[in-house]
Amino acid sequence: MNWEALGAVAELMGAIGVLITLVYLAQQIRHNSASVDSATEDGLASGFNDINVQVGSDPALTKIMITGLEEPEKLSEEENMQFTLLWRCYMNQYYRLYVLYDKGVFSKERWNEYAKEAAHATSLPGGKAWREANPGMPEFWEELEKHRGDDVLGFRVKASTNDA
């Protein structure tokens, strides 16, 4: 075997090695992307679950949330503060989702589901009043406006007369 043939075999082996490395790296990137997506979904679920457990396990807080969303003027000063703080937790979760969506980490399809829910929730009397009292995050509010009026399953406090 001459040196040219040996060199050609070495180049072929090197190309095969590069190809194997690229296939391996592509698999690792896919695996890492799946892990990031899973961690994002887990953090999202945990955030909403933490708030929901707190509100749902305390009948007084449940009543405050229902009244705060539907008839906020009926809340006492203390109840209004509780509603405001709890509602801020929900809005922080939705804003977090918006930021992830805006950065391309959260898919448009998943964001649209949550955006519809947040748009509906902030159109309820208490959600609307809270939004007006907290005008920061204008890009978030503009994004929610795009989804206002979309059909939504979440955050229905009471069945309205239009739901029949």
Q: In the prediction, which pLDDT does 72 show?
A: 94
Q: How far apart are CA 149 and CA 152, in angstroms?
A: 8
Q: In the prediction, which pLDDT does 87 show?
A: 94
DSSP state of 104: T
Q: C-alpha angle with apex 136: 135 to 138, nearest 5 degrees?
A: 85
Low-confidence residues in the chain, pLDDT < 70: 1, 37, 150-164
Provide the token pair at 127. Answer: 């959600």
Domains of the chain, residue spans: 38-158
> Tokens 């739901």 belong to which residue?
163
Spatial CB neighbours of 83, under 8 Å, sequence gap ≥ 6: 64, 65, 67, 68, 72, 75, 126
Q: In the prediction, which pLDDT does 157 show?
A: 55
142-155 confidence digits (pLDDT tens): 999 998 876 655 55
pTM for this structure?
0.71
CB atoms within 10 A of CB 72: 20
Contact 122, 142 (CB under 8 A): no
